[in-house]
Amino acid sequence: MAETTVHHFAPWAGRYSQDIDWNLKPPASPNLAALVSTTARAYARQQAFTCVMPNGMYGNLSFEETDRLSDDFAVYLREVLGIGPGKRVAVQMPNSLVTPVVVFGILKAGCVLVNVNPLCDAGEMQRQFKDSGAEALVICDLFTDKLADILPDTPVRDVLVASVSSLFPPLVRHVIQGIMRWWNRVVPPVAFGATRLEHALADGRRIREGRNVEVRQYWAGIAHGDLALLQYSAGTTGVAKGAMLSHGNLLWNVEQIAAMGRAGIVDGKEVVLTALPLYHIFAFTTNLLAFFRVGARNILVPDPRPIRKLQRAFENYPITWISGVNTMYGALLHEEWFNVYPPRHLKAAIGGGAPMHPAIVRRWERLTNSRLLEGYGLTETSPLVCFQLVNGPPKTESIGIPAPRTEVRLLDEHGRPTAQGMPGELVVRGPQVMHGYWKLPHETAQVLRDGWLHTGDIAVMDEDFSFRIVDRKNDLITVSGLSVYPNEIEEVLSSHEKVMEAAVIGVPSAKTGEAVHAYVIKRDQSLDEAELERHCRRHLAVYKLPARFVFCDALPKSAVGKVLRRELRRQAMLERSRPAAAGAAPARNKPAKERA
């Protein structure tokens, strides 16, 4: 591809440092199992995974051990459970040594992995098991109680139960399990037939050695186009859809991540803190796959809440990279131990999942003397699309530039590219874009058109060809034909000192098409509507002013903490449909109080 052409459709490629090549070499491995196996041979004796408990207790797995144990698990799946290639196997674990072993084992068996959030409620679990057709499930012993009722009505035939401390040294494992079972009493009794993962691995090993099973045979025929992972994502509609990510999608994204981070990565020398859950696509691809691929040691933290639980992990290991979300970095910055002893070996931190707050980025970079690089991605793109340059100039409120081989366009409402500096829907094409939603051709067609994934995020390209996310398309409010971005209004509301938190939605209005409604949690009870309105008038154009303020005690949030604007909209619609309900008429001049 001629240089000029690249710069025509990927003008940002000119900003790549010499470590990044737009013509990124295709992944050498034919599939993820091969990637695991070759990487494990290259770094055999080095530690690959270390799981750290809040009090500092730990368990290690070397690359070699990870490889061998995942072979054992693959054999167990194929030979004992008789699960064939392409069949789905679900994993519902917090970060632990079990995760890499079973995830790699499933891929080596030629099966399709289904990542399930352990915090899902029983109904959501059932939906995902049924939808994916998962035949086996690896679940953490802390969550088996949710399974008992729904299990008969799912395709899951075999359940394997593991603990966070499984695969730890025996004495440590027994102590941790004893404390969890008898002292904390967080381990419910298992009310159905299940196998302990430890037994499954022992069985797998016995068969593998006894019958001389060549695990390689399981995955020898798997190619880039084959499905590797069903990753469920709530998306904007609220019903979880399984994004189909192939071996090729994930292998390419691993190469893209490694390329974007290359300037700060020395193969076999990095130590990455994995406090984000591996069942989420962000840490799954970044930490479990990409950092594994470069021979890094993953420091796995089962649960980073409260944030103090990260203290021993920071103290005991020379962490060079971290992946995290805005609130996690914010929380760390408020910890005294972190401020007194910031990590000394840190090269860079990766921020994603939600927009990073500029103040947090600046404080983080000052304290740790290293970059906090914001990235952008979606479940549907394996996830990385854009990332800030490791050696680029610091820039906040920016998602950086697209990864190699990733084409990004911004389109207006008519599907035409917008001028530079103008907002438009971000669409993306590249080898990391999913094959579609599992069994949902209609939904797939809505977002995937001619190979372009329509993200629903509104972005702007700056003069330096880096991108900025402005808002979500679905949350966009149109007042009298003018676009109103809820983020902007929420920021203005939150900047008032008496406001703790605010969320803004559009509600149908006869007069203006849509009207802005603001939901506000007070920090100071003396705050009233008039004061808030005066504040908004000072900072916002007239058409952006909220037509209604609702003071509430809480905002509806997703299981992991994002404000659910769609839930607020649903409630607002319900309220409207209720005839003569107290709050139905816009209470413009009366302070309205209700629980959201």
Name which of residues 545 to 584 contact another protein (CB under 8 A): 557-562
Tokens linked to 192: 């159905």
Nearest residue to 50 (alpha-carbon basis) of 258, 287, 353: 287
Interacting stretch for another protein, rule CB under 8 A, among 50-58, 61-69, 96-104, 566-574? 50-58
Interacting stretch for another protein, rule CB under 8 A, among 76-84, 96-104, 277-285, 397-405? 277-285
Interacting stretch for another protein, rule CB under 8 A, among 212-220, 307-315, 369-377, 434-442? 307-315
**Contact between 367 and another protein per CB under 8 A:** no
Name which of residues 163 to 182 contact another protein (CB under 8 A): 169, 171-172, 175, 179
Nearest residue to 140 (alpha-carbon basis) of 321, 279, 286: 279
Task: Select from 94, 100, 242, 304 the one that contacts another protein (CB under 8 A).
Answer: 304
Distances (CA, A) of 144 to 129, 130, 178, 543: 14, 17, 17, 51
CB of 354 to another protein, least distance (A): 3
Query: Cis bond leading into 383, ω under 30°?
Result: yes
**Contact between 316 and another protein per CB under 8 A:** yes
Distance from chain centroid for Cα 130:
22
**Contact between 542 and another protein per CB under 8 A:** no
**Contact between 346 and another protein per CB under 8 A:** no
3-state helix, strand, coil in the chain (%, to 5): 35, 25, 40
Q: Which residue has the tokens 């009794």?
A: 189
Interacting stretch for another protein, rule CB under 8 A, among 41-49, 132-140, 272-280, 403-411? 272-280
* The residue count for the chain: 596
* Whether 199 contacts 193, CB under 8 Å: no
CA distance 243 to 231: 5
Interacting stretch for another protein, rule CB under 8 A, among 191-199, 293-301, 320-328, 412-420? 320-328
Q: Which is nearer to another protein, 148 or 596 (CB)?
A: 596
CB of 157 to another protein, least distance (A): 30
**Contact between 188 and another protein per CB under 8 A:** no
**Contact between 495 and another protein per CB under 8 A:** no
CB of 229 to another protein, least distance (A): 17
Q: Is 521 exposed, middle or buried, given 0-12, 13-18 or 19+ CB atoms closer than 10 A?
A: middle
CA distance 402 to 399: 9
CA distance 248 to 435: 10
CB of 166 to another protein, least distance (A): 16
* Whether 586 contacts 549, CB under 8 Å: no
CA distance 553 to 432: 41
Residue type, 51: C
- DSSP letter for each residue of 27-84: PSSSSHHHHHHHHHHHTTTSEEEEEE-TTS-EEEEEHHHHHHHHHHHHHIIIIIS-PP
Name which of residues 438 to 457 contact another protein (CB under 8 A): none
Task: Select from 288, 331, 453, 461 the one that contacts another protein (CB under 8 A).
Answer: 331
Interacting stretch for another protein, rule CB under 8 A, among 54-62, 191-199, 207-215, 476-484? 54-62
Q: Which is nearer to another protein, 426 or 502 (CB)?
A: 502
Q: Which is nearer to another protein, 278 or 410 (CB)?
A: 278
**Contact between 353 and another protein per CB under 8 A:** yes
**Contact between 336 and another protein per CB under 8 A:** yes
By CB under 8 A, name the binding residues for another protein.
53, 55-58, 169, 171-172, 175, 179, 234, 276-277, 280, 282, 304-308, 312, 315-316, 325-328, 330-331, 334, 336-337, 340-341, 353-354, 500-501, 557-562
